[in-house]
Structure 1
């Protein structure tokens, strides 16, 4: 019998939805060897087996954020933090942070920030270019709303992008105006003109961001992610950065990389020329799906709906592609052998993607391609049957319910928020829904996600379809097994069973024994990646020892 290299014992170890609980887990190298009672696993240990006493704590498979932006998160850690959680609750607070940044910057240096939510600002309004101009007359400022689909620039930033009074709205974008004058708020593709003239990010900076962000994710018990948009900002250099980071062993966790395949932001041909198609790679960096955008975000009022927003009867959102363009992008990626994962939040956008999938599968059937829809926030009831027929995976974000639920009531009324992100229906219909944060759109902290899946309430207590609540085990299943299934990795990870990767998270809270509100203050104590401890919370750690015949199991 193989002697384990490491034994984690005396805990409550959740091994998977069907597998249930164990008291101990034996690890051989980077794989799970066995699970069972503390006595059973102790009998396997040898003199050199390292033993970790979990002291009754809950352990789960390592969490897998099925849709987030690692290199953007890493970059955001060194930009202005405009999140409500950071205390930014007014336009003036944003202005004050910009003023401080300007004081420490060289003239002409760009001031970047991310995370503000106008629905949570005292003014219930975006900052404008005039607010920013008062403190930054000599530095371009470009600040991104939490959703990532809206930005505000000061006058210098707009001028650099050639945006003025006579600039028309581009297709798939909108320039907000006051009395005909752009006020600095740019929606969707309208941002591209400014982003095109910003200083480019170098490959080495991107590698550092990947490493920085990945190390931070390990502190949350996250051992795997799907990077949701390689090539969205800097194009091909972003893919090169991931390849370089991998070569240099600077990717701290497991990444399935999504390639941008949009009209303008498209690296599919570049990746394909290198032989990088879905599934190519190893257990640290593997190529995942191809992505393109069909609409915006609900919080920004740019998700594309078939009926108007409650707070503006003229607004149906922003359509970023035509049906013909969606068909063309879908067919190209499908023919090249890629899994596809378009962004679609509103029901009109979702229907358009499903139309394209029907055409692709009619031309080239492939029952296990596992095409996805990223977000899939609101779909009409009749599209559920189409999702099932084509086995399309809805990759929703529970954290949106928590952080943005209040705002949904404001812009969509009281009824539509009850039908968003129907995880229970998706799960019961066998659609393999996954859990994710879309970080840095929201915090990568998995606790608001778990809370939202189980409680179905926003951070202000607003109910969001209570009938869609999941059990704790189901919620963890979406955060582990289903996230792995979504990128064809369920045979390698997502459960703690013999032969799978020994990726494990240990928490200070037993989610199965407390009310959902207690999830929100829960912390990760230890993270294990491939059998190695890669994160330990200071002063709150399970104890390590070497095995001893005298040691009690």
Structure 2
């Protein structure tokens, strides 16, 4: 037997227990052998392709265990309002004004990525400012978290929102001095989304392809789409299958089904026989997703104690206990894994209680229900998670991107220990990690940096006791990502029989400084299923 591909002449990290080997052989899309170069050399034949690592590190392909692939692809065409692109309010408004100048009157202007804590004015943009920037177009500007939007007057008018509109349950329509500010949070945004033209199937497939290729450029070969149905309803399922059929699905994708009331695609999926585990190595039905609260930086994550500020808000509770209990029980009984959004400790409490109730009524010790984000969980909640087999699925890049915002809205006492990664590791809760893209860029290097240093983008040091080693960080991005999807025997390590998904980085992450990982590291090569799908230098 001869290998199709052999990687050699550089460290190859195969997994936390397996450690580093000298060479890796790939055959028919799977790992054939990993070990000493002299052993793997026996598998080299006339047609074997040799990849010289030249000292670079190879690892299992990364698994972004929580992002929104369709949204990522769609929003790559939106106005880029991220702080790294525009750090001032004037700059943000100029970007919107420039897009409006190239758009037809009445055409929607969509923008995403601003963070009021990073803008020079330290506040949200106002409706009137968007009015002046684009007087002839409806505008929706989405905060980086995706849970808060600012709309101009034309957008609000199209959505039927005015000063007489009451905030809906689980939402906020902000007014100041009896006038709309344009800020809508959580469920209050639904009327706006309802009047924005929905993407057609070709646009959805194009977004899947565009976003997936972007992931491959970072060494990400697997991902979870965290709310399938959010933009295109059940049609997103069709779009994913079409993308796969036409060879336009770049990354292995685990589909988490939107299950919120009035928007759920779970009934249609269940009727079609699409339950957790249905599919194959490229496209699989994953969990059911419910949103229980919002974001901490947007002050909508549901907390047991108030945020800082005069309003004394505790965030937004999206659904009452009885609704959450009913929806969780229904999905659990139908055989679904659940992966529900809960950031604040009050939302986490509500979710754990619902999971415990379902597991007690219908025991399944390996269902692996997940808490997405789980940012402000408590020691008492951790003990219950361990006992019930409930797993956190955080995004450690939030520490880098939003740690300072957490401090500003919650204070140091509550913010510094958020996203307690080392604690979860030590408890055996196998935390995966991801980006929540487009909330954050899917770039893995700030994520690694945050896990290693617990530093924010400004250099603020969060709780250092929650730092982990580079080996633990890699394990979270590979093995634990697969575990979170109940696929740890299929992918996540470079061992014989597992999928040959490989990322090759421009430097050895195992020995590089955290600063070099953040600023001076790239993904040079990505292999998915034994095929080269990204080659930064075009020379592999």
Residue in 1 aligned with 2:365? 367
State the TM-score, normalizing by the size of structure 2.
0.99
Residue in 2 aligned with 1:188? 186
1:379 pairs with 377, 380, 384, which one?
A: 377
Q: Is the 2:407–2:416 contact (alpha carbons within 8 Å) kept by the matching residues of 1?
A: no
Residue in 2 aligned with 1:484? 482
CA distance in 2, matches of 1:364, 1:454: 39
For residue 313 of structure 1, report the CA deviation from its aligned partner.
5.4
Residues 215-274 of structure 1, C-alpha deviations (whole Å, 9 max, x = no match)? 111000000001100012221112221122122221101000000011122000111111
Residue in 1 aligned with 2:209? 211
Residue in 1 aligned with 2:10? 11
Secondary structure of the corresponding residue to residue 298 of structure 1: coil
More moved, 293-302 vs 88-97: 88-97
Secondary structure of the corresponding residue to residue 461 of structure 2: coil
For residue 294 of structure 1, report the CA deviation from its aligned partner.
0.5
- Please tell me whether residue 442 in structure 1 is matched to residue 440 in structure 2: yes
- Please tell me whether residue 198 in structure 1 is matched to residue 196 in structure 2: yes
CA distance in 2, matches of 1:149, 1:464: 24
CA distance in 2, matches of 1:211, 1:43: 38
Gap runs ≥5 in structure 1: 545-553
Gap runs ≥5 in structure 2: none
Residues 29-85 of structure 1, C-alpha deviations (whole Å, 9 max, x = no match)? 100001112222112211111111111110100000000000100011111111112
Residue in 2 aligned with 1:533? 532
Shift of the 312–26 alpha-carbon distance from structure 1 to 2, 3 Å rule, reads farther
Residue in 2 aligned with 1:128? 126
Residue in 1 aligned with 2:39? 40
Residues 408-435 of structure 1, C-alpha deviations (whole Å, 9 max, x = no match)? 1111101112221111111111111101
Residue in 2 aligned with 1:236? 234
Secondary structure of the corresponding residue to residue 174 of structure 2: strand
Q: Is the 1:257–1:286 contact (alpha carbons within 8 Å) kept by the matching residues of 2?
A: yes
For residue 397 of structure 1, report the CA deviation from its aligned partner.
0.6
Secondary structure of the corresponding residue to residue 256 of structure 2: strand
More moved, 55-64 vs 410-419: 410-419
Alignment of 1:304-323 (within 5 A): 304-312=302-310, 314-323=312-321
Alignment of 1:333-344 (within 5 A): 333-344=331-342
CA distance in 1, matches of 2:360, 2:92: 51
What RMSD over aligned residues (CA atoms) do the two structures have, in Å?
Answer: 1.0
1:178 pairs with 168, 176, 179, which one?
A: 176
Q: Is the 2:62–2:503 contact (alpha carbons within 8 Å) kept by the matching residues of 1?
A: yes
Q: Is the 1:311–1:410 contact (alpha carbons within 8 Å) kept by the matching residues of 2?
A: no
Secondary structure of the corresponding residue to residue 306 of structure 2: coil
CA distance in 1, matches of 2:353, 2:194: 32
1:498 pairs with 496, 499, 523, which one?
A: 496
For residue 158 of structure 1, report the CA deviation from its aligned partner.
0.5
Alignment coverage as a number of residue pairs: 539
- Please tell me whether residue 66 in structure 1 is matched to residue 65 in structure 2: yes
Residue in 2 aligned with 1:160? 158
Q: Is the 2:55–2:508 contact (alpha carbons within 8 Å) kept by the matching residues of 1?
A: no
Residue in 2 aligned with 1:274? 272
CA distance in 1, matches of 2:412, 2:383: 26
- Please tell me whether residue 286 in structure 1 is matched to residue 291 in structure 2: no
For residue 380 of structure 1, report the CA deviation from its aligned partner.
2.2
Secondary structure of the corresponding residue to residue 233 of structure 1: coil
Residues 491-531 of structure 1, C-alpha deviations (whole Å, 9 max, x = no match)? 11000000000000000121121221111121000000001
More moved, 344-353 vs 40-49: 40-49
